[in-house]
Structure formats: C-alpha cells, structure tokens
Amino acid sequence: MELLRFTTAGSVDDGKSTLIGRLLYDSKTVYEDQLASVRKATTNLTTKGLDLSLLTDGLRAEREQGITIDVAYRYFATPRRKFIIADTPGHEQYTRNMATGASTANLAIILIDARYGVLPQSRRHAYLAALLGIPHIVVAVNKMDLVEFREETFVAIRGQFGAFARKLELRDVHFIPLSALDGDNVVTPSGRTPWYHGPSLLEHLETVPLAHDRNLTDLRFPVQYVIRPNLDFRGFAGQIASGVIRRGDEVLVLPSGKTSRVKSLVTFDGDLEEAFAPMSVTVCLEDEIDVSRGDMLVHPENQPDAVRRFEANLVWMSGKPLELHRPLLLKHTAQVVQARVREIRHRTDIHALAQVPANQLHLNEIGLVLVESQRPLFCDPYARNRQTGSFILIDPITNDTLAAGMIAGPEVQAALGPVTVEERSARIGHTPHLILLPNADAAVAEEVERHLFDHGFLTYRTKELQAGMAAADAGFVGLVFGAEADVTNLPAAAGSVPCTNSTEPTSHAIVQVLRSGGWPL
C-alpha cells in the first residue's frame, strides 16, 4: 500500500488543525480514548460541539491559545492508501517548524480563508512549498459556509492564487472549496457546492499520482553501516536515496573511485534481484574494496557533483544569528563534515519575494549563502534530488540544529584563470548581457536559450539571479527566469552589465522585445 506524506499550511486561524481533525473523524480513524480526551478538553472551552482541532493541538500552550506551535504528526490509513500528516504552524515566527514538517512531504495543503482571500502569509507558504520542492499542492478554500458557498468567491481566489503559483512554477495545483467545521467536501462531496464537480479532499489524497515523485534515474546509495558479522560476509547497509540498484550492476565507490559489481542485495526478508528508493538494503560487492560509512555507491556513468564550495538556500532555525566563517558541522546523507558559511548572497523577503542584501540571517529567515566544507560533498541540486541536495548545519558545541539547507549548485566563478572578460567577449563574438524573464517558465526559457544559441550567443540559463549575474560577469549571456528574475533593483554587482527585463510570458514575444532592443535575432 502506497504511503503519502502531506503537510498543512496557511495563515493563523485558517482552520488547519480543524481540517485534519475533521479528516480523521469523518474517515473513522480516531480512537475512543482520543475522542474522550477531546471531549474533556472541549468542555473547558467556549466552542459549541466537538472541537476537532484538539486532535492535533496536543501541547498545553496550543490548547490554551487555540493555535498550533509545534509540528504535530498523525498517522491514518484508508483501504486505498496510508497517510502521515504533519500539521505545521501558521504563525510567521514558526517558519522553521513548517520547514521541518514539509521537508519530507509529497503534498502540501495550503488553506485559504474564503472571507479574506489570498493573504501575504498564503504567498509565503506557497513560496516555502516551492522552495522545499513539494510536487503536489492542494489549495483548500476553507470556511465556504461563511460566504454562503458562493462560486464567484472560489473562482476569484483560484485565479489570484493560480497566477502566483505560475510564477513559482508550481506544476500540480488543485483547488477544493470546503468547510472543515461542517465537513463539506472533506471526506464526502457536499450538496452545498453543486457548481463544484471535482473530488473531495480525501478522494484527491487517495488518488494523487505518486509514481513520478521519486527519482529512480540517479542511483545514490549513501553507506550508513558496514556489516561484518564473520569472515564470510561483508555488506554495506543503508537507505537508497534515489535510483535503482540491481544484482550484477557495476557500481562506483565515492570518494575512492574504485569499481565493483553488486553480488547480492540482502534484506531481512531475503535476497532481492533489485531495490529502489526509499528501500533499506545491504549491498554485497564481488570485490573486497574499502568502503566506509559516509561513502556513496553510484553508477559510473551517472555521478553526482563533488564540491567543497556550493550555493544553498538556508532556513535559519536558531535564536542566535548566523555568523560568517564560524566553524560548524554539516550533516549530509550519512556523513558529517566541518563547514563554514563564507558569504550571504542575499536574504529573501518571503512576503514580496524580493532579494535584499544581508550580513546576517536571523531566526526563521531564508537566504542564499555560499558554504565551504572541509571535504567534498557528493551531492545533486535539491531541485533534482531532495535527498542528496539537502543538509543541516549543527552547532559543534551544543549539538543544536542551526539551519536546514537546500543545495542550489556548485559555486559559479565569475572569472576563470587569467582570461579577462574582454578577451572572452572578443573570442565568443558578443558582449555580456543579463536577461530577466520573471513571467517565463522553464519551457519558455529553454526556447529563448535555443533561439539565442542558434544565433551565436553563449547563454547560461538559470533560476538563480546570483548565478545569472555571475555568468554575465564572466562574459556570457545570463538568462534568469522565474521568481528570482522579478526584481525592481538589481544588486550593485550587476551595475556594469547591460540588462534586459521582459515580462512577456512567451518565447516569441520575448524574442520580439530583444529584437526591438537591437539584438540581431
């Protein structure tokens, strides 16, 4: 039976905990002792009827204030699928808690109060969902009973949020009108929304396709433990982070670079012919080669990046601000290395989706940083592989978790060796340029890149503004698309590079803008 991990997000008092309580209650997955506890707690409140939000608001402070503070996990199952729910806080000061709950989620339910529409916090949660790489989004327009289930209210919210979601390149977004308090469209379809012909929330959760959420292309097997009970057995245990491994496959061991073939895949239930993410197995190799905890098995023709300096989006989780160059511990897959944050490229204002200069990151703030590790990490960009693209930073003295990071890619060097920008421009035949396409998605950006390349322009396409600027500084055409291209004031570092900003959403219109600006296209 498939497992779906999902999280809830929304503004304060949008009804996240009530929705989960209603989902559990109406699907008949609440135990009698839990109901008795909720009934007892409800008698101490002014709530009429049963307060289902108390099924997840477990802390005393939460029940007293009527808000969610900590991440609450609940488990339930239906005949079609198993579920793990992470109920996360809506308050801005608990952003770190939301990041924790959403880091492993396949789906996010973003609640919007039908009375107020899309609020800044709604956009903040959508940005966090995009940043954390959650592939499926459900926008639950809650409290429809308070607006008399008017279709025009639902349509207006759908249009407003949909436009913002396209900027963030959220692909799979589904909208459901509901009332968590009364149960409309939560488990069963409601007769009070005859104009809505989609599934109920539970039906959508049971049927959302998960097969393509896992990366089965890139084999990444971090070794967690070497098992050697006797002289006749030596295996390497771990959880497959991504990809598929089969008996007889040739594998490369990183960092040693030695190769061997898979002799067997051992599990408690017997040997397997193949295994895939996220299974936990013990891999036995045909050759006696040195493999230790923290090493990684990959296919020789498909290797991760091996980097010591890389850019990453960081969610700061400590009450003490980030200090540059301070020695930290970095935990990535099964290894822990010493590392330092060398530079803060920018801090992200998640209300305006703007990039602002910063010298520090404070609690719950998010920024793009440059990290340097003592030893190379074998990693992939987070957008491609959530398992090998994520890490945490740890205080080496207190062992506290300081930050959660998502790798954007290796550090982009602005200049390579003694070759100047002028020499490179003369050789490649054009001057450097920065093109910003805030309303273009990946497909449109690829079409523009192809058109420029076919006309002799060497282009570097990216979603990261800093990377695009670095490419332009090095003499190329930096092509930045998506949310990070939506900037009103470029950083001072980009002042010497010509810049074209086009809000057109199609490649044809963008090319027309470039032509009108003098580009020979």
Mean pLDDT computed over every residue of the chain: 87
pLDDT in tens, 441-492: 888 999 999 999 888 888 999 888 878 888 887 788 999 998 778 776 555 4
Distance CA(370)–CA(313), nearest Å, equals: 9
Identical fold for domains 3-207 and 305-410, yes or no, is: no
Lookup: tokens for 334: 């099964």
Torsion of CA 112, 115, 117, 121, to 10 degrees: -60
Q: Are 277 and 216 in contact (CB under 8 A)?
A: yes
Class of domain 3-207: alpha beta
Structural contact between residues 75 and 86, judged by C-beta atoms closer than 8 angstroms: no
β-strand pairing of 221-222 with 401-410? unpaired
Confidence class for position 39, pLDDT limits 50, 70, 90: confident
Phi-psi region for residue 474, left (φ > 0), alpha (ψ -120 to 50) or beta?
A: alpha
**pLDDT, tens only, 190-237:** 999 999 999 999 999 999 999 888 899 999 999 999 999 998 899 999
Amino acid letter, residue 506: T
Residue with tokens 């007892």: 40
User: According to the model, what pLDDT value does residue 435 have?
Assistant: 93
DSSP string across 361-385: --TT-EEEEEEEEEEEEEE--TTT-
CB 359 within 8 A of CB 344: yes
What pLDDT shows up at residue 100?
77
The token duo for 455 is 């006309």
- Indicate if the pLDDT at residue 66 is higher than 70: no
- Residue 287, phi-psi category: left (phi > 0), alpha (psi -120 to 50), beta (remainder): beta
In the chain, domain spans: 3-207, 221-298, 305-410, 421-516
Distance CA 96, CA 356 (A): 20
User: Which residues, other chains included, contact 88 with Cβ-Cβ below 8 Å and sequence gap of 6+?
Assistant: 7, 8, 9, 16, 68, 71, 94, 97, 98, 100, 101, 102
Residue 90 has pLDDT above 50, yes or no: yes
pLDDT of residue 267: 95
Give dist(CA 482, CA 479) in Å, integer.
10
Amino acid occupying residue 254: L
Helix, strand, or coil (residue 496): coil
CATH architecture under which domain 221-298 falls:
Beta Barrel (2.40)
CATH of 305-410, one of 2.40.30.10, 3.20.20.150, 3.40.50.720, 3.30.450.20: 2.40.30.10
Place of tokens 């020695």: 327
CA distance 346 to 401: 22
Q: Are 223 and 297 in contact (CB under 8 A)?
A: yes
Q: What pLDDT, on a 0 to 100 scale, did the predictor assign at position 299?
A: 97
Q: Which residue has the higher pLDDT, 299 or 8?
A: 299
Least confident span in 58-62, 145-149, 173-177: 58-62
Helices and strands: H and E segment counts in the chain: 11, 27
Q: Which DSSP state fits 199?
A: -
Phi, psi of 516 (to 5 degrees): -65, -20
- Token readout for 313 is 């989006």
Cβ within 8 Å of residue 394, ≥6 positions away: 328, 329, 330, 331, 336, 400, 401, 402
388, 241 contact by CB (below 8 A)? yes
Quote the percentage of the chain above a pLDDT of 90.
56
pLDDT band with cut points at 50, 70 and 90 for residue 494: very low
**356 vs 146, 196, 315, 352, 436, CA distance in Å?**
39, 42, 15, 10, 17
Under a CB-based contact definition with an 8 Å cutoff, are residues 277 and 215 in contact? yes
